[in-house]
Structure 1
Amino acid sequence: RDLVSTHQLDDDIIFIDRYIPNNEVANYFNASDMVVQPYRSATQSGVTQVAYHFGKPMLVTNVGGLPEIVAHQKAGYVCEPEPESISEAILDFYDQERKSNFEDFVKKEKERFAWHHFTRLFYELKTETDDKKHSR
């Protein structure tokens, strides 16, 4: 917070250090340019799926399964869980004006996580295994 004040960014960066109820979540995602998830350790994050839902580019750290969900330089960034790596990606996002391109990819990529996609894949798998079982 001191760094934000020192650089006079108080109007641009808002810290929310409380639980966000479900009925307020959309406000925060819609107001964001990019969803930054600077985890030091994780397996997965539900925040990533919510970011896809809202069509937001993401920055995730290279921990757990997060790199498998966010395509680096397409849906956002996969960074090392170090301040320098994270800050370089954030600066690149704004300096290179990547928001629009990343958002376009995120909109296409989120289909991969849609329920209708999962059910179609499950149906195809079941049909394939049934066919193999009946062909014996």
Structure 2
Amino acid sequence: LYYKLLRKRVVFTAHNVNAGARDGNDSFINRLSLRVQYKLCDEIFVHTAKMKYELVGQFDIPGERISLIPYGINNVVPDTALAPNEARERLGIGSDDKVLLFFGSIAPYKGLEYLLTAFDEIAKQDKGYRLIIAGKPKWDGGYWSLLEPTIASSAARDRIIRKIEFVSDEQTEVFFKAADVLVLPYTHIFQSGILFIAYNFGLPVIASDVGSMREEIIDGRTGFVCKPRDRSDLARTIVRYFQSDLYRDLEFQRVEIKRYANETHSWSEVARITASIYSKLSKR
């Protein structure tokens, strides 16, 4: 409002259109404040078409004031000469194990409970599966405390590696290089920065069909998409991945995933689109 009073143009990047809806604490006041915020903007940057549709449909923002900007590939996290087999040795994982990774903050909308039950299901059929959970519980940790009994009662609990704390950038590559696939069983999301960390390391992704996941994941080339809130479909999709050419030729596919990500989500492309939009704004 201050800048509008000074007759300045306001450009806003919305990483989440309504984080309250995602986190389960939405309210009339929250939606009203967001509406006012968005109405005051001359231009709003979003990362997906679904985010644009939500701004138009729920907050009555004209579509011509919303621009799609690709989510830039995360190339800030260190990527050293550490080899996958060395990463596995650090975590005590065998070279032939089938390793799933859940990475990032632990919160209800991440759907970790569906992965835990799916893992329990597939681990009964194959002793080679391993699951890594690496991340810090969000808020007061109440959600994680509800999941701990599920892990404790699982017959596969000894095959679950837990690093329940903040993971620094320097530690991140160990998990992404030790894993065979990243799993994002989210129940609500607009876009995931974790997906682009995976792509930066050339790691395939299995994700539930929420937000823009289906648009970002190329079936059989960069990963697979499953039904949200469906542990059985998630389990089937995990098994499908480990039976696929994507897994069987993972060393080559990692290179291809990196190439794809850098072609479609490079920071030079993000900068080009952003500069073009600012140029148009300056002429309004």
TM-score by length of 1: 0.76
* 1:97 positional shift: 4.6
After superposition, the C-alpha distances for 1:73-97 in whole angstroms (9 at most, x for unaligned) are 2210111111111111111121235
Q: Which residues of structure 1 form unaligned runs of 5+? A: none
Determine the structure 1 residue equivalent to 2:269: 117
Residue of 142, 151, 156 corresponding to 1:4: 156
Aligned residues of 1:58 and 1:75 also touching (Cα < 8 A): yes
Matched, 1:85 2:237: no
Determine the structure 2 residue equivalent to 1:72: 219
Aligned residues of 1:71 and 1:77 also touching (Cα < 8 A): yes
- What CA distance in whole angstroms lies between the structure 2 residues aligned with 1:108 and 1:85? 29
Residue of 223, 242, 254 corresponding to 1:94: 242
- What CA distance in whole angstroms lies between the structure 1 residues aligned with 2:203 and 2:273? 25
SS at match of 1:108: helix
Q: Which runs of at least 4 in structure 1 moved beyond 6 Å after TM superposition?
A: none
Matched, 1:25 2:172: yes
Give the letter for the 2:200 counterpart: H
- What CA distance in whole angstroms lies between the structure 2 residues aligned with 1:97 and 1:68? 21
Determine the structure 2 residue equivalent to 1:106: 257
Structure with the higher fraction of residues in helix conformation: 1
Corresponding pairs, count: 125
Matched, 1:16 2:167: no
Give the letter for the 1:59 counterpart: I
Larger Rg: 2
* 1:121 positional shift: 5.0
After superposition, the C-alpha distances for 1:51-103 in whole angstroms (9 at most, x for unaligned) are 11111000111001122211122210111111111111111121235222643
Matched, 1:55 2:202: yes
Q: Which residues of structure 2 form unaligned runs of 5+? A: 1-150
Aligned residues of 1:51 and 1:57 also touching (Cα < 8 A): yes
Give the letter for the 1:21 counterpart: S
- Could you say what the CA RMSD is over the residues aligned between the two structures, in angstroms? 2.7
Aligned residues of 2:220 and 2:244 also touching (Cα < 8 A): no
Alpha-carbon distance change, 72 to 3 in structure 1, aligned in 2, over 3 angstroms: farther
Determine the structure 1 residue equivalent to 2:187: 40
Structure with the higher fraction of residues in strand conformation: 2
TM-score by length of 2: 0.39
Give the letter for the 2:265 counterpart: F
- What CA distance in whole angstroms lies between the structure 1 residues aligned with 2:222 and 2:186? 17
